[in-house]
Structure 1
Amino acid sequence: MEILKSISSKKKVGIIGAGPAGLCAAVRSQQCGHDVTVFEQTSKVGGIWVYTPEVNVHTSITNIPKEIMQFGGFPFPDMDNSRRSFVPSEFVLKYLEEFAKPVLSNILFCHKVVDVERHENLWQVQVHKLDDNQNPELTTFKFDVLFVCNGHHSKPMMPEFYEKYHKPWIHSHDYRSASKFNDQTVAIIGASFSGMDILDQLARAAKKVYLLDDKAIKFDSLLPENVLVKPRLKDATPDSLILSDDTSLSDIDTIIYCTGYVYNFPFFNSGNPLVEVLHNGKIVSKLFEHVAHVDYLNSLFFIGLHVTSTFFMIEYQVRFALALAANYTKGFNEEDVKDWEQKRLE
């Protein structure tokens, strides 16, 4: 960061979100000598690592080793003298709270960004203070550089036909504990990270668990006896699920959709959106290397969009963005950037 600090002219940097990505952007921007303001719509730092009834952290243990869940120069402390790699989620939150201390005074808590526009070569950000019911007016801030770090675990991705099914269902976003499903027959839709985490817990509580995912069939023999792997979900009726092999399931008490999330940027003007969410909510365009907006390479950055964005990856995305903001990058031009984005979408 010393090299970037030595060549960076002081800029006003705005950051949307105080989760891991936003905190990293704030700390590194401050270290480069920039004037930093962070907008966080909740009352705490940490993003998805803060457990509340509205925000989901449904497992007590991380599924990524702490060695790649740490930022440069700020190692994970051995909080319980166990030297284990997979730590409880509350350890991660404590780590983030410690990491955030240098920028806590720069964070505006309970401030929700409602609109972002480009105006006179600056980013104009309109913000609503959520805990001020007496003053519904918006406050406007202007920045040279804007980091979008609002996360991507708030808007669940659902199959088009999910409303056809009239029996109980939830999305993994709302899952809290396996005890709610004691002695039930449960169908888990999807076998990615959240699906397998929840399956591990439900197999010990539910009477029977269906796991609907073509990729999981090869693991069938390794799963508990009360777990039955089935083909992917194709359609639904009011009281049954139709699978891709045209068989159906009708003995289900509850469905848990572990189908991931769609990217969502509600603060961008819908009449003139700066980004497009394509491929059923799975790709954000127009971004170079998934980070820098192709039309504003030096001033608009998106951090942590990868599904498995470790702190290690976030760190390097932030450093790349700050290098672009300081014009400290070589080896590509505007045509190369747009060509890269076009090939990504093909």
Structure 2
Amino acid sequence: MGESYKVAVIGAGIAGLLTARELQREGHHVTVFEKASKVGGIWLYDPRVETDPLGLDPNREIVHSSLYKSLRANLPRQAMSFLDYPFLKKEGGDDQRTFPGHEEVLRFIEGFARDFGLMELIQFGHQVIRVELVDEVTHEWVVESRTRETESTWESKEELFKAVVICTGNQTEPNIAEFPGRDTWPGLQMHSHNYRTPEGLENKIVVLIGNGPSAHEILKEISPLAKQVHQAIRGPSVENYDSPWQHPMTDYFRKIECARNDGKVVFQDGAIVEADVIVHCTGYKYHYPFLKSNGIVTVDNNRIGPVYKHVFPPSLAPWLSFVGLNTWSVIFRVMELQARWVAKVLSGMVELPSQEAMASSVEELYSEMEKKGLPKNHTHSLKNDEFEYVSWLAAQLNIKPLKRWKEVTVVSFIEWAVQHGENFRDTWDIDKWMQEIDSSD
């Protein structure tokens, strides 16, 4: 066992719980700050929606979870397991499906927290409002949190830590489509973050902007009830539905041509629809209003930077780190390996490169992205690099990568899901697919 420090973990979702476990295993003294009253993060269903359905009002009370009531995982249990804690079907359990509903995922997360004694590390109902370096010599950080006393009053407290790990996820602050007339269009606009059920959309003409997973799931749910569903899509559709009219985007950043004061929505293909509702299924922004780093760590078009290997800001490492920044990496092993890396770096069991070398690596990544024409908001995407990244993390930890890691990635699941069609969750024999991978040369 190496060095032992007092470490704050911000968030008790999957990333936070994995980080707390790994820190505890390395002998660190861990405090987890969680705004909600339970563990689960984005997997903790909350029927509430925000007072501003677009999420533009900075003074709104933020609802962390983006789950809609009927959501099922779009990855199988096997891909949501941890290295030493598989997501098994429980005999007599409520949900035996390979692609379970969100309630079953939450039960798995709660079981993990209980089995590893993490619940006693968590300060529930504590919203973090400030994380700031207060001593550059001793590397001490202050974490200021607040708890609600009454409906209108809060009590704040400050606590000092040697290190802070931010595990707040990236699916809470809505990213809203920009187009002329958006702010004056008279109909209802909402982000998918505030969608829970199709109630209220009956017999409405609905415009969906986006064609990611949330757009397709919401589309399937509202189509039988809505009068019409028009979808602004990026590129050709990968699925066929009977109900929606699909309109390709020629200008990705603009999404639709415009929205008029008379209620009409004009698409980039020239179609005009008199709509009642616009649903922005347009993803999320990285958002860390509590982090005061004196400009060292910034958010620029969804690029958190500079951050070495998506985890450590070079000039603040290892005393500040992030776990779970990456998009296209919802397979939990990425977060698990990141958490283990952070814990072992803090304990001195794994060494980081020099600050200069880490900064150089970040600049090299930015340069490569620029050469490939990739925008800044792809910085933390592992869409085509997941296996290389997890293999790199495993090497830092002296773990031999499993053979299946190369084949079992988010991209591979999406490709196979497309092949199996709209009902892939119930028709795809995942166990057979996994066995074929494990038995291959």
Q: Is the 8 A contact 1:288 1:341 kept in 2?
A: yes
> In 1, distance between residues paired with 2:44 and 2:110?
10
5+ residue gaps, structure 1, are: 1-5
The answer to whether structure 1 residue 91 and structure 2 residue 104 are counterparts is: yes
Instruction: Give the superposition deviation at 1:133.
Output: 7.3
Aligned residues: 333
Question: For residues 244-295 of structure 1, what are the alpha-carbon distances to aligned partners after superposition, in whole Å with 9 as ceiling and x for unaligned?
Answer: 34x243321211100111111011238x24421112xx22111111111121
2:111 is aligned with what amino acid? Answer: E
Match of 2:331 in 1: 310
Cα separation, partners in 2 of 1:56 and 1:218, compared to 1, 3 Å = closer
Match of 1:188 in 2: 208
1:126 is aligned with what amino acid? Answer: E
Pick aligned residue for 2:315 from 295, 311, 314: 295
Match of 2:392 in 1: none
Match of 2:395 in 1: none
Q: Is the 8 A contact 2:73 2:102 kept in 1?
A: yes
Q: Is the 8 A contact 1:26 1:103 kept in 2?
A: yes
The answer to whether structure 1 residue 151 and structure 2 residue 174 are counterparts is: no
Q: Secondary structure at the match of 1:290?
A: coil
Q: Is the 8 A contact 2:209 2:233 kept in 1?
A: yes
4+ residue runs over 6 A deviation: 132-135
5+ residue gaps, structure 2, are: 49-62, 250-255, 371-441
Question: For residues 40-67 of structure 1, what are the alpha-carbon distances to aligned partners after superposition, in whole Å with 9 as ceiling and x for unaligned?
Answer: 1111110111111143311431111111
> In 2, distance between residues paired with 1:206 and 1:253?
10
> In 2, distance between residues paired with 1:83 and 1:186?
34
Q: TM-score, normalised by structure 2?
A: 0.71
The answer to whether structure 1 residue 74 and structure 2 residue 85 are counterparts is: yes
Pick aligned residue for 2:33 from 32, 35, 39: 39
Q: Secondary structure at the match of 1:183?
A: coil
The answer to whether structure 1 residue 241 and structure 2 residue 252 are counterparts is: no
Q: Is the 8 A contact 2:265 2:274 kept in 1?
A: no
> In 1, distance between residues paired with 2:89 and 2:260?
51
The CA RMSD over aligned residues, in Å, is 2.2
Q: Is the 8 A contact 2:311 2:338 kept in 1?
A: yes
Q: Secondary structure at the match of 2:141?
A: strand
Q: Secondary structure at the match of 1:204?
A: coil
2:266 is aligned with what amino acid? Answer: I
> In 2, distance between residues paired with 1:72 and 1:84?
21
Match of 2:414 in 1: none
Q: Is the 8 A contact 1:110 1:131 kept in 2?
A: no
Q: TM-score, normalised by structure 1?
A: 0.89
Match of 1:171 in 2: 191
> In 2, distance between residues paired with 1:176 and 1:29?
35
- Please show how residues 309-328 of structure 1 align to structure 2 within 5 Å: 309-328=330-349
> In 2, distance between residues paired with 1:100 and 1:330?
28
Instruction: Give the superposition deviation at 1:136.
Output: 4.3
Q: Is the 8 A contact 1:234 1:242 kept in 2?
A: yes
> In 2, distance between residues paired with 1:224 and 1:133?
45
> In 2, distance between residues paired with 1:172 and 1:136?
30
Match of 1:284 in 2: 304
> In 2, distance between residues paired with 1:318 and 1:198?
33
